[in-house]
Structure 1
Amino acid sequence: MIVTLAAFISSCNMRENIFIASGYSRDGVADVMLCRLDGNGSIDKISEISVGDNPSYFTFGRGGLIYLVNEVDTFNMKAGGGITTLRYDKNSKSLEKVSSLNQGGGGPCHIEVSADGKYLITANYGSGSVSVVKLNNGGIPDKVTDVIFYGEKSRPHMTIYNPRLRTYYISDLGLDRIHQLKLDTALGLLMNADIAYFSTEPGSGPRHMAIDRPPANLYVINELNSSLSVYNILSDTVTAKQTVSTLPEGYAEKSYCADIHLSRNGKKIYGSNRGHNSIVTFSVGIDGTLSGQTLNDCAGNWPRNFAVSPSGRFFLVANQRSDEISVVHEAGNSDEAVSSLTLNAPSCVRFFK
């Protein structure tokens, strides 16, 4: 019984530490990798595949499906970016391509499964739009049901869902606002909430977001002024609570924020600084406000994206300009990686849930 239990625990740990990393495409090299992180922070590459057309971000579906955006302006010989679907085969430990679809918006940079699991929503940075794609009964992208364009200056970057209000927030870096939308799940159409958007600080460039649980606060990392903002989201009338710098006091060189994540227990929040090349950490108070800034070196150049390991002990950092996924300790400030994986211009890394 002891051996069986130990084997079961080991199996669970291996499964929860499996992750996917993707990046921008280059001829002759894989742009999506399936890997495992062990308890010591070492990376074991399991499988890889070449998708092509810049699979710069992805999310997970049911049954081992993985939905990747293709960040291009023309896909499948039509204007617009793409969605490529992969399937993870647990038996063969491999990735296989299932389908591809033009989703009607140029330069998609983020993809999210709708709360009901029936649609995909993409933020299309290149064309200033948001697309909705219906999934068939097998979870495969089937058809585009809606595309909303916000204008030439718009640069949508991410979608996140507030289950309390049944509202989707879409950060718009170009317009300095967060759009508030509802999804008609029968027709696959997006509609404005009672309040269509709220504005962020002019010139801030809201990029990625995180929501606490239960949803009370929205955390927005701002690319252009290197800050992190906290908003009260108990109603559609959103109010600003706090904005803090993600950089050390007195830092004057160029730096641009990118990604943001809450810890599993919600007591910490992390953000990445491209240029300063660090992961910033704040403590989250009972009221959702932030304090106690600390900074960890990201052990690479240009941390476009990152993930927190299931144990909370490590960051996996997609260092885009140094072509590597770097593993660094969550606690500590060493400028050396625990381990690393070579991947061309990595832009997304996520653990299987």
Structure 2
Amino acid sequence: MTSLAFVANAVDGTVSTFLLDDGALRRVAVSEIGPGCSAVVVDADRRQVHVAVKGDQPAIVTGRIHRDGRLEPTSRRDVESSLSYLALTPDGRTLLGASYGGGFGISLPVHDSGVGDVVSRIAHPNMHSCAVGPEGTTAYFVSLGADLIAQCALAGATLTPLDPPTVAAPAGSGPRHLVLTRDGTNMYVMTEFSGEVLHYRRAPDGRLTLAGQAAASVPGRGLRPSRLGADPVAGHLIWGADLHLSPDGKACWASERSESTLATVPIAADGTPRPAERFTPAERQPRGFAVSPDGRHLLCTGEKSTTVSLFRTEPDGGLVLRQQAETGRGANWVRFMSA
């Protein structure tokens, strides 16, 4: 299966486009997007990307995906504070954004020409990620600062808090990035400070219930739990980042930046995650990664590396390094699209 991978290089202000074909990775384009570009979301039907950029005026930049993989910026929507995560509804008509520095989550309509004005806004400290339920009528925002997940109904681009409006994460865990299973019955959240994968059961009405957690940071390396405001490098603290599911739902992978590892977290048939026992060396300080549409490969970035690593995924969740390729400075985000 042939696919395109888009890698945001925050320091360079560029997005690299890679072609993944028959297990081989080749960079085909580097596109200027804007300073501090990070979160990327792909609208394959419109052949568009939306990219969060920082700078003096943070914004969402929308770009056209050309056949050669090049991205052409076509519009810009300024926002009040930089966004750390973007998510699209399944129909591509609504965009969600989470702002860590601004402490808010927003929803905006999407048009063929770009992104419209903010329709709804919710506020919690240090919002770090967001997601849409597979049916497109519920939305979730993770607050690292308050150890919670905000849960909302989503109608068009309008957010309405559910009852209750939030569900707690373990105190001091620092929930960060989240992912939903394809059928929407389970949600998994990577924690930054405790290095765990939290497991939430999701009811048909979208409400979440915390069901458990599993360790996802490498043992025996002297890592200690972190906290808000701490320096994880100086203190050699747990520094969890991203996570993604295998297409069959039998495993998820989680990145930890202090030891630069990707943990394989097995998932039981009932959705329960088990503690990771396998840890694969990754790019230095691996903030973001993604799994190819066919599930056969995983592409990982490193904030302190100028290369990306392509791994082959094994049936048991193992990762085998296949290739490294140059990308740019400050690489922190990956998203795929079938070519």
TM-score by length of structure 2 reads: 0.87
CA contact (8 A) 2:186 2:202 kept: yes
For the residues of structure 2 that align with 1:349 and 1:111, how far apart are their CA atoms? 12
Of 156, 159, 165 in structure 2, the residue corresponding to residue 196 of structure 1 is: 165
**1:280-332 CA deviation, whole Å, 9 max, x = no partner?**
11221121012362334344211101112344343211111123211234345
Of 66, 82, 103 in structure 1, the residue corresponding to residue 59 of structure 2 is: 82
Q: Does 1:350 align with 2:330?
A: no
Aligned residue number for residue 124 of structure 1: 99
1:19 is paired with a residue whose SS is strand
Structure 2 counterparts to residues 302-317 of structure 1, below 5 A: 302-317=285-300
Deviation at 1:165, TM superposition (A): 8.8
Aligned residue number for residue 20 of structure 1: 6
Aligned residue number for residue 20 of structure 2: 37
Of 116, 123, 130 in structure 2, the residue corresponding to residue 159 of structure 1 is: 130
Aligned residue number for residue 238 of structure 1: 208
Aligned residue number for residue 291 of structure 1: 274
| Closer, same or farther: CA 63–239 of 1 in aligned 2, 3 Å | closer
Aligned residue number for residue 116 of structure 2: 142
Aligned residue number for residue 231 of structure 2: none
Listed as ranges, the gaps of 5+ residues in structure 1 are 1-12, 76-80
Structure ranking higher in helix proportion: 1
| Closer, same or farther: CA 166–328 of 1 in aligned 2, 3 Å | same
Deviation at 1:277, TM superposition (A): 1.0
Of 36, 43, 49 in structure 2, the residue corresponding to residue 54 of structure 1 is: 36
Output the amino acid matched with 1:87.
R
For the residues of structure 1 that align with 2:319 and 2:95, how far apart are their CA atoms? 38
Deviation at 1:116, TM superposition (A): 4.3
Percentage of identical aligned residues: 24
Output the amino acid matched with 2:154.
L
Q: Does 1:278 align with 2:261?
A: yes
| Closer, same or farther: CA 274–93 of 1 in aligned 2, 3 Å | closer
Listed as ranges, the gaps of 5+ residues in structure 2 are 224-236
For the residues of structure 1 that align with 2:327 and 2:114, how far apart are their CA atoms? 30
Choose between structure 1 and 2 for higher RCO, CA contacts under 8 A separated by at least 6 residues. 2
Output the amino acid matched with 1:130.
G
Deviation at 1:115, TM superposition (A): 4.2
Q: Does 1:95 align with 2:71?
A: yes
TM-score by length of structure 1 reads: 0.84
**1:215-247 CA deviation, whole Å, 9 max, x = no partner?**
211111101111111111115553222211112
Output the amino acid matched with 2:64.
R
Structure 2 counterparts to residues 103-122 of structure 1, below 5 A: 103-104=79-80, 106-122=81-97
Aligned residue number for residue 228 of structure 2: none
Of 146, 151, 159 in structure 2, the residue corresponding to residue 180 of structure 1 is: 151
| Closer, same or farther: CA 162–68 of 1 in aligned 2, 3 Å | same
For the residues of structure 1 that align with 2:145 and 2:275, how far apart are their CA atoms? 30
CA contact (8 A) 1:71 1:109 kept: no
State the aligned residue count: 320
Aligned residue number for residue 234 of structure 2: none
**1:116-146 CA deviation, whole Å, 9 max, x = no partner?**
432211101111011222223x251132223
CA contact (8 A) 1:324 1:345 kept: no
Q: Does 1:229 align with 2:198?
A: yes
For the residues of structure 2 that align with 1:318 and 1:162, how far apart are their CA atoms? 26
